[in-house]
Amino acid sequence: MSLSIDQVRAKVASQKTLLPALYGAVDFDAAPERFTLDASKAVVRDRAPLGVAVTQDDLDRIQAYTMLGDVVADAYAALTPQYGFRRLIDMLVAACEHGVEAVASAPPQLAAFIADMEARPDWIDMDLVREGARLELNVMAHLAPFAIRSAFVATFLNKYSALPMALTGTLTNASAARRVNETATFFTTTVLPGALERHGAGFKAAAMVRLMHSMVRFNALRSGRWDASVYGVPIPQVDQMPAGLIPIYLMAFKMLRQGRRRFTAQERAKVELARYRCFLLGLPRDLLADTPEGIVRTMTARDSTLRQGFDDQTCGALIRATLAAYLPPDRSLPNRLHDRVERRFAKAFFLRHFMRGDRAAAARMGVEVGLADRLVFTVVAVGVTMRMAAFDVALQVPGLRRAADAVLERRVRRLLVRYGHAEYVTDATRYRPAQAAA
């Protein structure tokens, strides 16, 4: 059962008393500048797309969750001065792989962190999660390697939500490449068989991502340069929604445009996978709807209250660094060719799915999409679509399903090798002053 709005606000306010070293100076009673109820100043002006009306309760919850970090993970990250961030990571890895009891003198904050992730909610159907992961193998094996960069770029379109990434030093090509590959590694890992079980690789990856986010909050808030009255809480819950829910949001949006209001069995399984993955990352149930209308309504409420804000020094620099980043593991001829193709595809994919085809608006943000980009996109899209369709058919045939699953799993594992080992760490010494970045 979802929390009442008063309970949500109480949870938000509790951060000040539970973690005064981080949140003691934050005024949780005041809406930050990034939150606006003025539709003319919001990222999305239309608050009722496709006949889905955003309610006042939706807006109130988005406002509250704009100021919510991650109480249990933040408490663990706050131990950095005592243990050092490397020791915190080592203890978390050991706890994920072997249990908290395997960590000598484990701090209670680690036990609380792991317990929070272990507490599978009754609103999640794990059988559907497993089926969703199996179905997503096809997407991760064929589409994700070409689309992941564009999805990453889409998170940099607003200075209020992009600032934490700018502060962590992601403005260089090398660090941008590492972040893109880490993101690809996380989502790819979670679709492997058994990965989201208690001791699976996906569970551990979620814990590492969650700690990385908390380390960003810890370092940003402790820097003395983060203006909460403008930006709210670094990486709040509402800013984690787009990364975790973009695929099912696009699916739900397309369904509503087609006049469909119910997921098919396969679509429902993919939704459940996304919801459980987001739960492991710390997102509350309120932000994880399970109907097409609910998903579109929640995301629209977030976007229609996020103030417009694009500045070249933050957003533009992040976009340019991400588009220029060389993602393959080496500079062999096949990898250089793949890089050229993938980069062109990513720009056109970004234009199509995140800018609604507005080339002028994309160009103003630093994404120039030319004829060659569109041609490459078309050719690659046709090839990817045909391969995915062939596997979709094979997965429906009893005699071929097991073999098709095995082939997809092998391809996904090879991609993980290509993406490289994910560190999921943030170095406070590389942070840039918030005022300079903004």
Collapsing DSSP to helix, strand or coil, 68 comes out as coil
What whole-number distance in Å separates Cα of residue 5 and Cα of residue 7? Answer: 5
Model confidence at 169, pLDDT cuts 50, 70, 90, reads low
Q: Encoding tokens for residue 50?
A: 């496709």
Q: pLDDT tens for residues 202-219?
A: 999 999 999 999 999 999
Q: pLDDT tens for residues 370-404?
A: 999 999 999 999 999 999 999 999 998 988 999 99
Task: Output the average pLDDT for the chain.
Answer: 91
Collapsing DSSP to helix, strand or coil, 307 comes out as strand
pLDDT of res. 45: 63
Per-residue b or e along 133-160, where b marks 16 or more CB atoms closer than 10 Å to that residue's CB = bbbbbbbbbbbbbbbbbbbbbbbbbbbb
Look up tokens 């445009």; give the residue.
Answer: 257
- Amino acid letter, 108: P
pLDDT of res. 311: 87
Share of the chain above pLDDT 70, in %: 94
What whole-number distance in Å separates Cα of residue 111 and Cα of residue 99? Answer: 9
Cα–Cα separations (whole angstroms), residue 207 to 97, 132, 196, 311, 376? 11, 20, 11, 32, 37
What whole-number distance in Å separates Cα of residue 375 and Cα of residue 345? Answer: 9
Residue 154 pLDDT exceeds 90? no
Q: pLDDT tens for residues 355-375?
A: 889 999 899 888 999 999 999
Q: pLDDT tens for residues 295-323?
A: 999 999 999 999 999 988 888 989 999 99
Collapsing DSSP to helix, strand or coil, 368 comes out as coil
DSSP state of 194: T
The dihedrals phi and psi of 327, each to the nearest 5 degrees, come to: -90, -30
For residue 35, list its beta bridge partners.
306
Summarize the confidence of residues 21-46 as an average pLDDT: 90
DSSP line for 77-103: HTTHHHH-HHHHHHHHHHHHHH-GGGS
pLDDT of res. 273: 98
Summarize the confidence of residues 127-152 as an average pLDDT: 95
What whole-number distance in Å separates Cα of residue 82 and Cα of residue 105? Answer: 13
What whole-number distance in Å separates Cα of residue 103 and Cα of residue 95? Answer: 6
What whole-number distance in Å separates Cα of residue 140 and Cα of residue 135? Answer: 9
Q: Which residue blocks in 315-397 are alpha helix, DSSP H?
A: 317-324, 333-354, 359-364, 371-396
Cα–Cα separations (whole angstroms), residue 288 to 25, 266, 279? 30, 18, 8
Residue 253 pLDDT exceeds 80? yes
Q: Work out the burial of residue 334: count CB atoms within 10 Å of its CB; fewer than 13 is exposed, 13-18 middle, 19 or more buried.
A: exposed
pLDDT of res. 81: 93
What whole-number distance in Å separates Cα of residue 320 and Cα of residue 84? Answer: 33
pLDDT of res. 435: 40
pTM as predicted: 0.91
Closest CA to 299 of 310, 308, 287, 311: 287
